Amino acid sequence: APVVTAALGALGPLLGKLADLLANECGRLRRVRREIRSLRTEFTSMHGALMKYTKLENPDDQVKIWVSLVRELAYDTEDLFDKFIRHLGNGESHDSGFKDSGNAAVDPRLAALFAEEAHLVGIDGPRDELAKWMLEEENKHHRRVLSIVGFGGLGKTTLANEVYRKIQGRFDCHAFVSVSQKPDRKKIIKDVISQVSDSDAFKKDIEIWDEKTSISKLRELLQEKRYLIIIDDIWSIVAWNAIHCAFPENKCSSRILATTRILEVASSCCPGPDDQIYEMKPLSDPHSEGLFFKRIFGSENSCPQMFLEVSKAILKKCGGLPLAIISISGLLASRPRVKEEWEKVKRSIGSDLIKSQSLEGMKNILSLSYNDLPPNLKTVLLYLSNYPEDYVIDRERLVRQWIAEGFISEERGRSCQEVAESYFYELINKSLVQPVDICYDGKVQACRVHDMMLELIISKSIEENFITVVNGGQTVWGNSQCSIRRLSIQDIDQELAFELAKKDLSHVRSLIITSSGCMKHLPSLTKFETLRVLDFEYCRGLAEYDMKGMETLFQLKYLSFRGTGISELPSGIVMLRDLETLDLRSTKIRDLPDGIVQLTKLQHLCTEMYGYHRKIPIGIGNMTNLREISGFDITMSSVGAVEELGSLINLKVLHVWLTVKGAESHKSHAEMFHSSLCKLGSYKLQSVWIFGGNSYAFELLDSWSPLPSCLQRFKMTTPYCLSKLPKWITPALTSLAYLEINLSVITEEVFGILGELSALLCLKLYADMVYKDRLVLQARGFRCLKEFVYEPVGEGAGILLFEEGALPKLEKLKLSISVPIAKAYGFYLGLDHLPYLKAVRVI
């Protein structure tokens, strides 16, 4: 199916809709059928010309103007077309051409490609040098500050992160925060608190703390602790002075590491005689070659002779800047291995970057990577300019927005979800975005855009009139003759809000707000009549905004109130019949309106697992497009609603509460939930998380039948322990990759069964006791396991012994050890038999 792109706008989908309309036999169209056919002919001709012109490397100004006019015309025509269909009375049945989506099974090998970037060539020496300095003079007890300073793209953040990872275990608490050009001090301080404190009681009501309270609380938290704080990307002395006062000058040998591009700022961070400034240097020629060749050919020593000379010329222009080398090597890796292609890239780069230290030169290199992208990847990359500098962008949030915008269509039997996720990973593999939080299964939870790449894509978005960014004094409204198509509000005051209200907002397709300021002054929702995406995530001032008119957003597909803290949904939400995603996590909404079940296109209904419990709405069985539901309480809901869960034939993710209020009073709920779970397991269910519950509810699970053949994750969060390993956990579960389970007793037989789960990557095992004081994990089973948590409690907690050959791929291990038993048997665990082990935590 045709999709929306940055270059062609809505021209592709518009042609598809015109074709669908001509195929429609509706009698009410007879008088306009000739006009529709003529319109399709004209736009088809324009489409052909646009396809040709957008492939030109350097189009002249006349072509650029014509392309822009046609793109705007296509957007406007599609908007009018959608209104026409709505008034025709065919709005509900019209299919835009985008089919239902599902979760992608991402190739875990992808993770290995970009995980290597955390260990860039040439970084080991500086990392070890700085780590040693950070740990020196621990006996002097005073706080010390280290500043890393250097040009953009030299790898300051990567080096700081490597130092952090190497030494964080030597400190009582630690945190890593980014500051960026427009620091939000309150947000930064709260981010540090969330990382350094494990106490939910301490962090209670953190969302309503003002700046003064936040700083006071953080100082209280750190006063008697040896802390390690990384403050990344400081742009001014004012920013440093505003933040560092939150970190007490205690006598616990604490350390602060700051990164900046500006030497004056670095000096301000390090006023004391024991502080240090470290100036980043470009990579040496051998290290530059190693990084370059490894990314293109897979090895540092496998460059064919014919490419050596041109490679040296390209690397000379990159000037030892890792960002430039990664960008160019990513570009060349996807091109034919023809010398002429490499020569062409060499000529395009321009002058020697290291001599000029030119930001413009770096942008030219990044532009090469951008220009080499196919239209679909250019479009989804430009969409990232919706988010501010240093913003961590959640993968699922991004993917669902791309789908809602119409950027994605099914390809070769892959669902929209799978295609969108493949685009996300392509951006990572091409080093256009940076991965954040790689999970046990190789999936990346989020990404971040390097600030230099962000500057580039914002400029491209302005050029294509793709996104208008409201960002304080840096706001560029764009060509007055072009409509605002997408709106990102990142920093707004009352004056800007009033200026925005004067604009024509009727063609805005997405509104993403990452600023909580001046919410009450924003234009009414009734002005945004063509919205597909409306994202208020973590806008704490949303309660001040009047959300009347929500019912007029008939094309809305994505709506997020996550983290806003609102307590009531706007009544018009039940009229959003095209809605596919509704995110209510971290809100105070207790009850959903009855009419929510009329939203039959809804695929993702997300509420908070750690918060208010909500009833399953009666009639949910009609919402058969649902892929994901979370946060509902089985025992608070009616038995009938629990029964209806079994009708959700497309459900893949089910995360629910089982509130314990007496076993007998909710026996019928537990039985009905078991019945529905068995049905769901025979459909497409992939992830189950049960929070709470009692013995009766969980013992019923022993007879889960038929086997949930698609199940990939099972998690139970409850103080209750199963009396035995459930019968349904067998080697026949060939997709089960994550298992978190509580057992009364752990035996070697249990380990034997679990070890035969061929896809198991992460195992978290909790128990009341073990059968023996020492359990031996033998050299068979668990062939793929990467993460293992083993926490038996009480005096019966036995010790594990890893035989040689056991858990051959284990990377992370967390163990609970009973001191009396350890004294009796010794502390030897056989960890030397785990060759890939990277992280161990013993409690």
Query: Is the pLDDT score of 136 beyond 90?
Result: no
Is 553 a member of any domain?
no
Does residue 251 sit in the same domain as residue 168? yes
Regarding whether 292 and 250 lie in a shared domain, the answer is no
675 found inside a domain: no
Higher pLDDT, 697 or 784: 784
Residue 738: phi and psi, rounded to 5, are -135, 125
On the question of pLDDT at 163 being above 80, the answer is: yes
Determine the Cα–Cα distance for residues 839 and 759; give it in Å rounded to an integer.
Answer: 21
Q: Which residue blocks in 24-137 are alpha helix, DSSP H? A: 33-53, 61-88, 109-115, 124-135
Instruction: Indicate if the pLDDT at residue 58 is higher than 50.
Output: yes
What are 625-645's pLDDT values in tens digits?
A: 999 999 999 988 999 999 999
Is residue 663 scored above 70 in pLDDT? no
Question: Are residues 785 and 762 in contact, defined by beta-carbon separation less than 8 angstroms?
Answer: yes
d(CA 369, CA 434): 15
Identify the three-state secondary structure at position 492: coil
Pull the structure tokens for residue 29: 């169209």
Summarised one tens digit per residue, pLDDT across range 165-210 is 899 988 999 999 988 777 888 889 988 998 988 777 777 777 778 8
**Cα separation, 655 vs 628, whole angstroms:** 8
Residue 743 belongs to a domain: yes
- Asked if residue 550 belongs to a domain, the reply is no
Q: In Å, what is the CA distance from 588 to each residue of 60, 538, 591, 599?
A: 54, 13, 9, 21
pTM of the model: 0.79
Q: Same domain for 156 and 289?
A: no
User: Of 406 and 452, which is predicted with more confidence?
Assistant: 406
Residue in the structure block whose two tokens are 């094309």:
555
Q: For residue 199, tell me if it sits in a domain.
A: yes
- The phi and psi torsions of 751 (rounded to 5 degrees) equal -60, -35
50-73 as b/e: b if 16+ CB within 10 A: beeebeeeeeeeeeeeebbebbbb
Banded pLDDT at 681 (limits 50, 70, 90) = very high
Measured CA to CA, the distance from residue 797 to residue 126 in angstroms comes to 42
Both 12 and 45 in one domain: the answer is yes
Q: Which of 160, 563, 178, 545 is nearest to 388 (CA)?
A: 178
The predicted structure's pLDDT at residue 737: 96
Mean pLDDT across the chain: 84
Residue with the larger pLDDT of the pair 418 and 112:
418
Both 256 and 342 in one domain: the answer is no
pLDDT at 340: 86
Question: Domain check: are 135 and 275 in the same one?
Answer: yes
The CA-atom distances, in angstroms, between 16 and each of 19, 89, 510 are 5, 19, 22
**How far is residue 8's CA from residue 72's CA, in Å, rounded to a whole number?**
9
Percent of the chain with pLDDT over 90: 38
3-class secondary structure, 126: helix
Quote the pLDDT of residue 119. Answer: 44
Q: Is the dihedral of CA 779, 780, 782, 786 positive or negative?
A: positive
Q: Is the pLDDT of residue 324 over 70?
A: yes
Supply the pLDDT for residue 368.
76
For the cut 60, the answer to whether the pLDDT of residue 374 exceeds it is: yes
Nearest to 162 by CA among 232, 226, 254, 109: 232
Tell me, yes or no, whether 512 lies in a domain: no
pLDDT for residue 610 is more than 90: no
Q: 259 and 128 in one domain?
A: yes
Summarize pLDDT for 288-305 with one digit per residue, the tens.
Answer: 898 888 888 887 788 888
Interatomic CA distance for residues 656 and 629, integer angstroms: 8
Structure confidence by residue, pLDDT tens digits, 245-273:
899 988 888 999 999 988 889 999 999 88
pLDDT band at 151 (very low <50, low <70, confident <90, very high): confident
Beta-bridge partner residues of 431: none
pLDDT at 378: 94
Cβ neighbours of residue 195 closer than 8 Å, sequence gap 6 or more: 173, 174, 175, 176, 177
| pLDDT number for residue 664 | 55
502-529 pLDDT, tens digit each: 999 999 999 999 987 778 889 999 999 9
SS3 state of residue 399: helix
CA atoms within 13 A on the CB side of 408: 27
Whether 102 shows a pLDDT value over 70: the answer reads: no
* Residue 690 token pair: 């049960």
Which residue, of 230, 263, 279, is where some domain finishes? 279
388-399 pLDDT, tens digit per residue, is 988 999 999 999
- Same domain membership, residue 155 and residue 76: no
Read off the pLDDT band of 387 (50, 70, 90).
very high
* Lowest mean pLDDT across 12-26, 532-546, 593-607, 643-657: 12-26
* SS3 at position 716: strand
Name the residue range of residue 189's domain.
Answer: 124-279
Say if residue 390 is exposed, middle or buried (CB neighbours under 10 Å; 0-12, 13-18, 19+): buried
Shared domain for 136 and 8, answered yes or no, is no
**718-741: pLDDT as tens digits:** 888 888 899 999 999 999 999 999
Out of 3-7, 31-35, 414-418, 717-721, the most confident range is: 414-418
Residue-wise pLDDT for 555-591, tens only, equals: 999 999 999 989 899 999 999 999 999 999 988 888 8
pLDDT (tens digit per residue) in 666-680: 788 889 999 999 999
Characterize 211-228 residue by residue with b for buried, 16 or more Cβ atoms within 10 angstroms of its Cβ, and e for exposed.
eeebbebbeebbeeebbb
pLDDT at 95: 37
Domain stop point among 331, 349, 372: 372
Residue type, 398: L
| DSSP-based three-state secondary structure for 86 | helix
Please tell me the total count of domains within the chain: 4
- 63, 77: one domain: yes
CB 269 within 8 A of CB 145: yes
Cβ(798)–Cβ(775) below 8 Å: yes
With CA atoms as reference, report the closest residue to 103 among 379, 404, 398, 419: 419
pLDDT for the residue 392: 93
| 768-788 pLDDT tens trace | 766 566 788 888 889 999 999
pLDDT band for position 103 (50/70/90)?
Answer: very low
pLDDT number for residue 404? 97
Given 372, 389, 408, the domain boundary residue is 372
Residue 173 lies in a domain: yes
Task: Establish how many alpha carbons lie within 13 A of residue 746's alpha carbon, considering only the half-sphere containing its beta carbon.
Answer: 26
CATH number at residue 194: 3.40.50.300
Q: Contact 555/531 with Cβ under 8 angstroms?
A: yes
Q: Which of 104, 96, 26, 814 is nearest to 407 (CA)?
A: 96
Is residue 201 in some structural domain?
Answer: yes
Q: What percentage of the chain carries pLDDT values higher than 70?
A: 89
**130/274 same-domain check:** yes
Q: What is the CATH number of the domain that holds 292?
A: 1.10.8
pLDDT confidence of residue 93? 36
Mean pLDDT for the stretch of residues 636-663: 89
Cis previous bond, 523, omega within 30? no
Quick check: 26 pLDDT over 70? no
Do 329 and 272 reside in the same domain of the chain?
A: no
With cut-offs at 50, 70 and 90, classify the pLDDT of residue 94: very low
